[in-house]
């Protein structure tokens, strides 16, 4: 994930995290893209608190990668799993 941001400090935080990307099948080919972020130390943990983030964008723009640096920091500082959800409600 090197170079994700323009700030080296944020890149250092992101590099301490494990990310998984997957898709949840939805109706009418409107799939839900998901990014799960945990600290590398908690990569295999199953019982962490969960924070679910819905990105901004007024339901027609944006993506789940927008807040990876901030969610990585949240996951590290609070020993939790952060999930960023991608969605599109409009064509």
pLDDT per position as a tens digit, 45-66? 999 999 999 877 655 566 778 8
pLDDT per position as a tens digit, 23-35? 988 777 778 889 9
Most confident of 3-7, 29-33, 76-80: 76-80
Instruction: Give the strand order in the sheet containing 17-24.
Output: 17-24, 32-39, 81-86, 50-54
pTM score over 0.75: yes
Question: Rounded to a whole number, what is the distance in angstroms from the first to the last CA of the chain?
Answer: 30
């Amino acid at each position: 994930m090197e170079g994700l941001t323009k700030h080296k400090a944020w890149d250092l935080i992101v590099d301490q995290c494990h990310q998984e990307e997957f898709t949840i099948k939805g109706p009418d080919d409107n799939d839900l893209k998901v990014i799960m972020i945990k600290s590398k130390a908690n990569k295999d943990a199953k019982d962490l608190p969960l924070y679910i983030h819905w990105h901004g964008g007024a339901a027609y723009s944006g993506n789940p990668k927008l807040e990876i640096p901030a969610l990585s920091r949240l996951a590290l500082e609070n020993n939790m799993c952060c999930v960023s959800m991608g969605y599109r409600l409009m064509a």
